[in-house]
Structure 1
Amino acid sequence: MMSPEEALAHFVVAHPLAEVPADALRTTRRVLLAASSTGVAGAGEDGVAELRALLRERGGTPQATTLVFGDRMPAVAAAQLNGTMCRALDFCDAMAPGPHFGAALVPACLAAAELRGGCSGAELLAALAVGCEVGARFNLSERQYDGFDPTGIAAVFAATAGAARVLGLDAAQAQRALGLAFNRCGGSFQSHIDGTLGVRLLQGWVAAAGVEGAQMAQRGLTGPLNFLQGVYGFPHLYGRGTLAPGDVVAGLGREWRLQRMMFKPYPSCGATQGLTELVLALVQERGLTAEQVAQVEVRQPPYSHRLVGHPFKLGANPRVDAQFSAAWCVANAIVRRGSTLDHFRPEQVADPAVLALVDRVHTVGDPAMDERGHTAVDVIVTTADGTRHTRGLDIAPGFPGRPLSDAQHRAR
């Protein structure tokens, strides 16, 4: 009988594309579309030019290609830059309570494909499917993460699994690669709260770690083989007493967790999707204008509130400040009657009309809302004449239970 680690490695290298369910393949294709399109669109965002210059300065063997620029770099470096670009707009795929898989997995697989000398579309799709599934199985609960950035914990396994599949590693090598990935876990939500480029840079590091771990394992370098069952394995470090090693691989290949992926209708944090939708609905239904609004109260579960409910502060990276601010997203939706990529440009984030309304938005973390789910939110808008308009939802748009339509995916 295979150990959980062996079962996971065997799945990574041998699960046939033909046995991936149609709906899981559909999700996988959407992951590829989302990551590649946001990567191209993110090429001009803050930090990309500086990171590109640094990686070019380091030099190295030209093994893989960067998106948009066409630079030839070492595969690890190309994956790092491409991953950073894919996350820059925060408009890629995600999964509750916060990991972003595609923006690391797709760059890792593309770099691995160039290392290998090319791969077919079917091989790439298989690698993306198993990578997404592996990442989904390492995804944790809000309580287990408790401030860790889920991308730095779960997505590193996704990127490593995908790169291992593309490079043609055998099961023993894949197990070593996943053990190395375990040693690369890390990252904090403090990057988001402080409005730093660390959010997108972590995505690049995760993509690079996936390629590097697979390359190392291919050459015989070892990581912990008992990264699930070991006394200091993943469940011990991150499961907080509520995760068993077998939980990660239960139903592997039969039950597909990647279908919990979500795709955002609005280009901001997943915790702002519901409140943006509610505010836009009120604006449309009631014809509300910023001048009419005396106060807005936003109530969220504590996990979401800690991430986006802090007071808005305009800092060195305005897009990040806005992406992870409930107050700014509410004010923007009221003032501009929409929420688009252009609204998050630095000069738009600093628009005095939006900032004036931000000061009238108050956020509350309500523990009683936990039972309603990760994306639950209530919005109460009070107008100057004292009228209160209240709206609420439990499942935000784009999340499982409320997926985007094909037309909405194309519109993104």
Structure 2
Amino acid sequence: MSDNTVNETPFAVQIGAWAESVRFEDLSPELVENIRARVLDILGIAAAAAPLDTSRAARRFAAAQGGVAQASAVGVAEPLPAAQAAFVNGVLAHSLDYDDTHLPSVLHPSASVIPAILAAAQAKGASGQDVIRGIAIGLEIAVRLGMAGYDTESQNSVFFEHGQHATSICGAMGSAAGIAALDGTAESVTHALGITASMAAGIIEANRTGGTVKRIHCGWAAHSAVTAVELVKHGLTGPPTVLEGRFGFFQAWLHGKFAPQEITNGLGERWSIQDIFFKPYPANHFTHAAVDAAAAMRRAGITPDDIESLVLGVPAPNLRTIGEPIQVKRTPETAYMAQFSGPYAVAAGLLGGGGLEVGLDDYTDELAQDPERRAIMAKVDVVPDDECTAIFPMQFPAVLTAHLKDGRTLTEKVLANRGGNKNPLSFEELTKKFRDNAQRTMSPDAMAALEDSCRTLGTDADTGVGTLFAHLTSVDLDA
């Protein structure tokens, strides 16, 4: 990482010029399909999260703000001002810990960028192609700013070590760039970044000691981005050196130490979206390979009764999150605790469940305390594994070894995460995930219509951004 690198052309100016130059026609068919799948994924998660108490609070807050109605929000019958719609949808998108993850920065970009772009696009009547272009720009900038704060020596995000939630901080900036690029000039993108930097925020103490505030982080990022671009339209300006300046973004968040090459190297030539991993399972991403390894044993005919003991090998940095203290990880009291438990992931994979292997119904308070699962978890040790550590953080691998009662020892290695660049999910698999989520609050006809709208986004059959929300504004909030 570098100390306050002087840049002849400010980064925000370079980003603005690049964003203005991007055309829908420049995006590969694979990239366009990837973005359509992310829209479907995020909206399905938002539909599933709609009945949560925190989601109700977000809707009440948004409705109380007033203003000119411009955009739709999940579970809200009447349109809201675009910034408030973006807030609600961003809150819902991040509330189930089911949204996608960029590696190795470990930020979740789609949960802020997609709600922000959709709200702004609906408010201005943008085309589906403009939506896809805006999302592509927003995701790219969010990821690049996240990577600028990634320390290759410690293999960790400096944002995280400072207690900062890069997901919301970088998500706000990326969202602003994508919105400003919908119909703005390079200069408007630069100003939007300059203004949003004064709004971008998020601290992660709630991960340690409780509270539900983390759920609003992506919503507030999306709200900030929409608001910042509106302020640009009304004449407010931002500093061109907002990123690298003496009192800029990287000084404020990273104490002036950042990786400048991550921001603009290959910009316009290489897209980082392929490094954003879809989440097949509704749990901490560090646990996913454990689910897959255990599921492979299940498919091979191994049952819990066959097993004497289990050893889950994980990257050393992951141990404190999913394996320590081991007695707590073996006895989670709540669904949320189970989402961060390596032993629970093994139990879930061995037993199987819904969705793509396990789904939302497999992470409940009742199942966290289920005697059958507790019996499996009691057999699991979580240890650091050198092979996994060498791969981390480009993947979150796991090696599961089962010592069987008949004397055999079996090992399953999962070195590439399902849903990532080396083991991608198909649109059909993501549609299955969407249905498992959305069926909780939507009718089959409404789900089918939303699937079709996402698949045709940006094509001649595209019926507009509003259609995406036509069946989401009246989801069943009592589900």
Shorter-chain TM-score: which interval? 0.7 to 0.9
Q: Compute the displacement of 1:195 (Å).
A: 6.4
SS in 2 for 1:382: strand
Distance of aligned partners of 1:352 and 1:223 in 2 relative to their CA distance in 1, 3 Å threshold: farther
Q: For 1:240 and 1:359, how far apart are their aligned partners in 2? A: 43
Q: Please list, as runs of the form range in 1=range in 2, the aligned pairs for 1:80-91 lying within 5 A after superposition.
A: 80-91=87-98
Q: Deviations over 1:177-200 (max 9, x none)?
A: 212333344434554455653443
- Return the alpha-carbon distance in structure 2 between the equivalents of residues 205 and 319 of structure 1: 25
- Displacement of 1:41 after TM fit? 2.3
Q: In the superposition, relative to structure 1, how do residues 61 and 241 fare at CA in structure 2: closer, same or farther (>3 Å)?
A: closer
Q: Is the partner of 1:283 in helix, strand or coil?
A: helix
Instruction: Provide the rounded CA distance (Å) in 2 between the counterparts of 1:71 and 1:407.
Output: 32
The one-letter amino acid of 1:221's match is L
* Residue 410 in structure 1 maps to residue 431 in structure 2: yes
Q: 2:292, 2:414 within 8 Å by CA — same for their partners in 1?
A: no
Shift of 1:259: 1.8
The residue number in structure 2 matching 1:388 is 409
RMSD: 2.8
1:261-281 alpha-carbon deviations (Å, 9 max, x no partner): 221222222222211100110
**Shift in Å, 1:342:** 1.6
1:9 Cα deviation from its structure 2 partner: 1.3
Secondary structure at the counterpart of residue 251 of structure 1: coil
| 369, 376, 392: which one aligns with 1:373 | 392
Between 211-220 and 250-259, the greater mean CA deviation after superposition: 211-220
Q: Distance in 2 between matches of 1:320 and 1:124?
A: 34
Q: Which residue of 2 aligns with 1:283?
A: 298
Q: Deviations over 1:306-330 (max 9, x none)?
A: 4333433656xx4433333322222
Residue equivalent to 2:17 = 10
Where 1:231 maps in the other structure, the secondary structure is coil
- List gaps (5 residues or longer) in structure 1: none
- Counterpart among 343, 346, 349 of residue 327 in structure 1: 343
Asked if 2 retains the 8 angstrom alpha-carbon contact of 1:189 and 1:307, the reply is no
Of 155, 162, 178, 1:162 maps to 178
Shift of 1:60: 4.1
Cα distance in 2 for partners of 1:51, 1:300 equals 37
Distance 1:299 1:135 in 2: 31
In structure 2, the CA distance between the partners of 1:57 and 1:406, relative to structure 1 (3 Å rule), is: closer
- 2-structure distance, mates of 1:332, 1:309: 16
| TM-score, normalisation: structure 1 | 0.88
Q: How far 1:46 sits from its partner (Å)?
A: 4.4
On the 8 A contact 1:331/1:358 being kept in 2, the answer is: yes
Q: Distance in 2 between matches of 1:309 and 1:220?
A: 52
C-alpha displacement of 1:303? 3.5
The one of 140, 143, 155 aligned to 2:156: 143
Equivalent runs, 1:53-132 vs 2, <5 Å? 53-97=60-104, 98-116=106-124, 118-132=125-139
The answer to whether 1:352 aligns with 2:368 is: no
The one-character-per-residue Cα deviations of 1:213-244 (angstroms, maximum 9, x if unpaired) are: 22223223344421333134444455677744
Instruction: Measure how far apart 1:252 and its partner are.
Output: 1.2
Indicate the residue corresponding to 1:400 in structure 2: 421
Distance 1:299 1:182, change over 3 A: farther
Counterpart residue type for residue 377 of structure 1: A
- Measured against aligned partners, the alpha-carbon deviations of 1:44-67 in whole angstroms (never above 9, x if no partner) come to 234212322233344444332212
What CA distance in whole angstroms lies between the structure 1 residues aligned with 2:138 and 2:48? Answer: 24
Letter in 1 for 2:372: A
CA contact (8 A) 1:42 1:86 kept: yes
Q: Kindly state the Cα deviation for residue 353 of structure 1 after the two structures are TM-superposed.
A: 2.6
Counterpart of 2:376, as a letter, is L
The alpha carbon displacement at 1:256 in A equals 1.2
1:203 counterpart = 2:218? yes
1:301 matched residue in structure 2: 315
Pairs aligned (count): 407
